[in-house]
């Protein structure tokens, strides 16, 4: 039987922490429907989430153990997880995919506030048919359904030492793999081929999955950073970027590296140096008590001084953990306060000429005092070269 990624006590502490928040926000329970939150509170890793036929539910009451409400096919793996009790229904059953069972579970909960949270708000999703959700609401009336997202993020944003270790391991694996790219890429290589070879390298070094690997190239820069490698051949004067989100036990790294193909322009070199220096400014600013808008301001000041024409990424980094991107966002209007245990990305990027973009990214841990801990292997100030 596969062991859980963490000791059972870790999951018990997570539940206790969210229960404190729930009582403070006057919630009787929170209902979980998404893979990341289900995994966070139970340790369950299942590829069966790829099948949308059957919804899965996890009820976190304000007091007591969690209750998994899952289709019968999930009974055995859920029984081996950190979930408390479990109730199942025979599925597929399109006319009632767990809705009546969920209603009975929620109505039987101790009712102090008459309010239950679902994953409804910022960077949350509801992984059940909306028509079923609408059917459930009158079945549990007069219980009020509200957004439980703030409770969940308040707990998930602060990582334990065990969680940090998973992210650090993912960063090390991908960092060494990215450093090896010049050994298997050259002028004339095709983006998609190099992307495949990098994926193999990352998996061979011990990553569990690679849900995200973006690749782009172009003369002196690139015009986007969110798609897979294409059939474009690398040419002299190109800059190639890989942005990788690989996992260890579900925990992501998320950072990129740039490569100069042969001789690139002085303007491109200056732009890359600017995003590297902007990252340094972020590292100096990312202290406990600062706001993420401060990170944005520090990095953007460097980019503007270097002649930035734009940045369609829209932010200079974000939270990181069981998901590739988590709150908060390093942007002008996000005033979330940095706290010890938060894992953030620093991701300054700039368009330095029309249609030419250069982006840089590192992963950091906010510490109790002083500067953050760099979880990634810091990129060299000058790009790696591919000849």
Q: What are the C-alpha distances in Å from 167 to residues 193, 241, 255, 258, 332?
A: 27, 21, 12, 21, 26
Note the pLDDT tens digit of each residue in 218-247. 999 999 999 999 999 999 999 999 999 999
Q: pTM here?
A: 0.95
C-alpha 235/C-alpha 338 separation (Å) is 42
Q: What is the mean pLDDT of residues 304-316?
A: 89
C-alpha 41/C-alpha 152 separation (Å) is 10
- Residue 1, in any domain of the structure: no
C-alpha 49/C-alpha 250 separation (Å) is 13
- Residue 363, in any domain of the structure: yes
What confidence score (pLDDT) does residue 318 get? 97
DSSP letter for 155, please.
H
- Residue 167, in any domain of the structure: yes
Q: What is the band of 128 on the pLDDT scale with cuts at 50, 70, 90?
A: very high
- Residue 165, in any domain of the structure: yes
Given 126, 156, 186, the domain boundary residue is 156
CB-based burial label for 89 (10 Å; 0-12, 13-18, 19+):
middle
Joined together, the tokens standing for residue 381 give 């100030």
- Residue 3, in any domain of the structure: no
In degrees to the nearest 10, what's the CA dihedral of 90, 96, 102, 104? -100
- Residue 215, in any domain of the structure: yes
Q: Does residue 1 surpass a pLDDT of 60? A: no
Same domain, 223 and 143: no
Rounded mean pLDDT of the chain? 96
Q: For residue 118, what are the contacts with CB-CB under 8 A and spacing of at least 6?
A: 30, 31, 33, 126, 133, 145, 146, 147, 148
Same domain, 231 and 284: yes
Given 156, 180, 195, the domain boundary residue is 156
Note the pLDDT tens digit of each residue in 276-296. 999 999 999 999 999 999 999
Coil, strand or helix at 118: strand
State which residues form the domain around 66: 8-156
Coil, strand or helix at 107: helix
Flag the least confident range among 21-30, 249-258, 348-357, 374-383. 348-357
C-alpha 17/C-alpha 24 separation (Å) is 11
Q: Does residue 2 surpass a pLDDT of 80? A: no
Beta strands 362-365; 356-359: pairing state: unpaired
- Residue 2, in any domain of the structure: no
Same domain, 244 and 113: no
Same domain, 152 and 168: no
Same domain, 239 and 200: yes
Q: What is the band of 310 on the pLDDT scale with cuts at 50, 70, 90?
A: confident
C-alpha 271/C-alpha 307 separation (Å) is 9
What is the DSSP code string of 11-67?
HHHHHHHHHHHHHHTT-SEEEE-SHHHHHHHH----GGGG-TTS--EEEEESSS--E
Note the pLDDT tens digit of each residue in 202-219. 999 999 999 999 999 999
Helix (H) or strand (E) holding 165: helix 161-179
Note the pLDDT tens digit of each residue in 50-97. 999 999 999 999 999 999 999 999 999 999 999 999 999 999 999 999
Same domain, 27 and 111: yes
Nearest to 171 by CA among 195, 206, 214, 197: 206
Q: What is the band of 333 on the pLDDT scale with cuts at 50, 70, 90?
A: very high
Same domain, 334 and 357: yes
Same domain, 96 and 174: no
Q: What is the CATH number of the domain that holds 253?
A: 3.90.230.10
Same domain, 114 and 181: no
Joined together, the tokens standing for residue 357 give 């973009």
Q: What is the CATH number of the domain that holds 76?
A: 3.40.350.10
DSSP letter for 183, please.
G
Q: What are the C-alpha distances in Å from 280 to residues 126, 192, 304, 364?
A: 38, 31, 15, 12
Joined together, the tokens standing for residue 144 give 């009020």
Same domain, 61 and 33: yes
Same domain, 137 and 173: no
Q: Which residues are bridge partners to 213 per DSSP?
A: 244
Given 156, 183, 199, the domain boundary residue is 156
What is the DSSP code string of 309-372?
-B-TT-SS-EE-SSSSSEEEE-STT--PBP-TT-EEEE--EEEEETTEEEE--EEEE--SSSSP
Counted domains in the chain: 2
Same domain, 142 and 194: no
């Amino acid at each position: 039987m596969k062991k859980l990624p963490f000791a059972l006590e870790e999951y018990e502490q997570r539940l206790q922490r969210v229960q404190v928040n729930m009582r403070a926000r006057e919630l009787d329970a929170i209902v979980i429907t998404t893979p990341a939150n289900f995994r966070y509170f139970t340790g369950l890793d299942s590829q069966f989430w790829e099948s949308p036929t059957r919804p899965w539910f996890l009820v976190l009451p304000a007091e007591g153990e969690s209750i998994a409400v899952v289709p019968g096919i999930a009974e055995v793996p859920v029984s081996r997880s950190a979930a408390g009790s479990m109730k199942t229904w025979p599925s597929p059953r399109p006319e009632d995919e767990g809705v009546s069972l969920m209603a009975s579970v929620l109505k039987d909960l101790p009712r102090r506030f008459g309010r239950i949270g679902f994953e409804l708000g910022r960077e949350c999703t509801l992984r059940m048919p909306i028509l079923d959700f609408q059917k459930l609401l009158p079945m549990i009336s007069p219980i009020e359904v509200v957004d439980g997202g703030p409770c969940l993020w308040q707990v998930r944003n602060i990582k334990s030492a065990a969680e940090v270790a998973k992210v650090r391991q993912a960063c090390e694996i991908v960092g060494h793999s990215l450093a090896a790219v010049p050994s298997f890429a050259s002028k004339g290589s095709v983006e998609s081929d190099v992307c495949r070879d990098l994926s193999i390298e990352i998996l061979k070094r011990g990553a569990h999955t690679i849900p995200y690997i973006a690749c782009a190239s172009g003369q002196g820069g690139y015009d986007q950073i969110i798609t897979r490698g294409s059939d474009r051949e690398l040419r002299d004067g190109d800059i190639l970027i890989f942005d990788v989100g690989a996992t260890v036990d579900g925990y992501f790294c998320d950072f990129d590296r740039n490569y100069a193909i042969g001789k690139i322009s002085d303007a491109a070199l200056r732009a890359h140096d600017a995003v590297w220096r902007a990252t340094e400014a972020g590292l100096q600013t990312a202290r406990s008590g600062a706001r993420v808008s401060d990170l944005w301001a520090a990095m953007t000041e460097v980019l503007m001084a270097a002649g930035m024409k734009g940045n369609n990424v829209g932010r200079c980094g974000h939270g990181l953990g069981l998901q590739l991107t988590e709150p908060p966002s390093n942007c002008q209007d996000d005033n979330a306060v940095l706290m010890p245990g938060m894992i953030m990305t620093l991701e300054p990027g700039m368009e330095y000429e029309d249609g030419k973009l250069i982006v840089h990214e590192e992963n950091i841990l906010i510490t109790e005092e002083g500067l953050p801990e760099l979880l990634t292997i810091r990129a060299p100030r000058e790009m790696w070269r591919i000849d």
